[in-house]
Amino acid sequence: MRLVATKEHAGLMARQTCSISATPSTQSTFRRDFHVPQHYRVNINANWGVPRIKLRRANNYSFQKCDNHSCSGPQVAGPHGTFTKFDPLESAGRNSHRSAVSRTSRTSEPFDLDGESSLPSELVETRVNWFSAFWRFTRPHTIIGSGLGVTSVSLLACQGVSDVNFKFAIGLLKAVIPALCMNVYIVGLNQLYDIDIDKVNKPNLPLASGEFSVATGIILVTFFAAVSVGMGFYVESPPLLWALLVSLVLGTAYSADLPFLRWKRSAVAAAACILAVRALVVQLGFYLHMQVSILGRAANFPKPLWFATGFMCFFSVVIALAKDIPDVRGDKEFGIRSFSVRLGQKRVFWMCVTLLEAAYLVAIITGLTAPTLASKVITATGHAIMAGILWERSDSVDLTSKAAITSWYMFIWKLFYAEYLLIPFMR
């Protein structure tokens, strides 16, 4: 089967053909072969055995199934290859098969004309695809990390099981919801300013792939920033509001391409931003929110909180270094002087492993000084296990493979999650 792209060119409808398999994994190939602009979304589905390809702006580009007859016509040379002149009305009269005519809905979204499909199913499919793109837009690994971090440090404020009650749950929600909204703002803003870089480093992200337009990205980051800060004022918790505003400022400074900003260009400034938010703001701000504003106790800084802050300083530096290891190609091309660009992937990789192993050693020693046997066993054993897993996993990574390095980086985030599960036991 062949799939045909039609586009308006010099007052005529032109058609270019190529052969591909209609599966989601062929999106980049399809986009390249048909020269589809990045701001168009391509969704390829094969439900009911009938490939259907949809783009956001169907009045300019539409895709349909065709046979040899519908692809015939006088050939003309174009800048991207050979085209066939195409008149939709003439084609409709020449081909009896309904899918030989390209139509669009009133919303400019193409819909399939084969008898097996229906408008409700198309609407459901469109919404599912949108939410799938939105989930990728939020950078799920950071969302999970933020949610676990806020919950974990909030539990440090609890002096006993009796403190984990309805009041605590409501206070936790007042912190988690704006924290996650701020997380979406930060990662979304970074994608808005990194579209060209992400086309090289992370082409599956919705702005880089064209699934989301720039306007959609701006609306999303504005909305989530407004909700986050708005909730910060509404909750009337000074530590929470402070944590959110500092995160907003540092997240903007990290990504925004404005005078004196775009700190991610500097390896040191980029690492400092991530360390400040992940290690200091999350631990101190959200702990004080629960301790002072929700539980109504005096501000204090217990040993577990100092441990969590210190350990996450190490971990934040590791994340700041490791995130750039797979992205050397795009960072070099666009002038981002990350440590991986300056020092090389291998050296930075083993720097990350060494830092994290050192942090685990300190955590094991700290755990052994805990006042209760249960805390000693859980924290010392847990950190020892994670240190062993880290070494075994790192020793087998192929540093010449971007996929292998990316997989290892996501594994580091899993260790990050596990640490927040252990922190409440540091008593």
Would residue 370 count as lying in a domain? yes
Rounded distance between C-alpha atoms, residue 127 and residue 132, angstroms: 8
Q: Which residues contact 290 (CB under 8 A, 6 or more apart)?
A: 153, 154, 157, 168, 171, 172, 175
pLDDT digits (tens, 9 = 90+) for 343-384: 899 999 999 999 999 999 999 999 999 888 999 999 999 999
pLDDT digits (tens, 9 = 90+) for 176-224: 999 999 999 999 999 999 999 999 889 999 999 999 999 999 999 999 9
Per-residue model confidence (pLDDT) at position 34: 56
| CB of 62 closer than 8 Å to CB of 6 | yes
Would residue 71 count as lying in a domain? yes
Q: What is the mean pLDDT of the chain?
A: 78
Q: Does the pLDDT at position 85 exceed 50?
A: no
Overall number of domains in the chain: 3
Q: Domain span at residue 272?
A: 133-301
Would residue 153 count as lying in a domain? yes
Per-residue model confidence (pLDDT) at position 337: 82
Question: Which helix (H) or strand (E) element contains residue 414?
Answer: helix 402-422
Whether residue 43 is found in the same domain as residue 101: yes
Strand bridging mode 81-86 / 12-18: antiparallel
Rounded distance between C-alpha atoms, residue 36 and residue 102, angstroms: 17
Whether residue 150 is found in the same domain as residue 278: yes
Whether residue 179 is found in the same domain as residue 102: no
Whether residue 137 is found in the same domain as residue 284: yes
Whether residue 50 is found in the same domain as residue 21: yes
Category of 298 on φ-ψ map: left (φ > 0), alpha (ψ -120 to 50) or beta: beta
Rounded distance between C-alpha atoms, residue 137 and residue 277, angstroms: 20
pLDDT digits (tens, 9 = 90+) for 313-332: 999 999 999 998 988 888 88
Average pLDDT over residues 143-147: 95
Per-residue model confidence (pLDDT) at position 152: 95
Would residue 278 count as lying in a domain? yes
Per-residue model confidence (pLDDT) at position 41: 52
Per-residue model confidence (pLDDT) at position 371: 86
pLDDT digits (tens, 9 = 90+) for 297-313: 999 999 999 999 999 99
227 SS3 class:
helix
Would residue 329 count as lying in a domain? no
| CB of 372 closer than 8 Å to CB of 425 | no
Q: Does the pLDDT at position 100 exceed 80?
A: no
Domain boundary among 268, 301, 334: 301
Which amino acid is present at 281? V
Average pLDDT over residues 417-425: 93
Per-residue model confidence (pLDDT) at position 139: 95
Q: Which residues contact 10 (CB under 8 A, 6 or more apart)?
A: none
Per-residue model confidence (pLDDT) at position 33: 58
At 232, the pLDDT band (50, 70, 90 cuts) reads very high
Please give the span between the terminal C-alpha atoms of the chain, in angstroms, as a whole number. 65
Whether residue 177 is found in the same domain as residue 285: yes
Question: Which helix (H) or strand (E) element contains residue 15?
Answer: strand 12-18
Whether residue 93 is found in the same domain as residue 155: no
At 91, the pLDDT band (50, 70, 90 cuts) reads very low
Whether residue 79 is found in the same domain as residue 213: no
Q: What is the pTM of this model?
A: 0.70
Would residue 309 count as lying in a domain? no
Phi, psi of 334 (to 5 degrees): -110, 20
Whether residue 145 is found in the same domain as residue 61: no
At 234, the pLDDT band (50, 70, 90 cuts) reads very high
Would residue 128 count as lying in a domain? no
pLDDT digits (tens, 9 = 90+) for 10-58: 333 333 333 333 444 455 655 565 555 555 555 544 333 333 444 443 3
CATH number of the domain encompassing residue 191: 1.10.357.140
Whether residue 102 is found in the same domain as residue 169: no
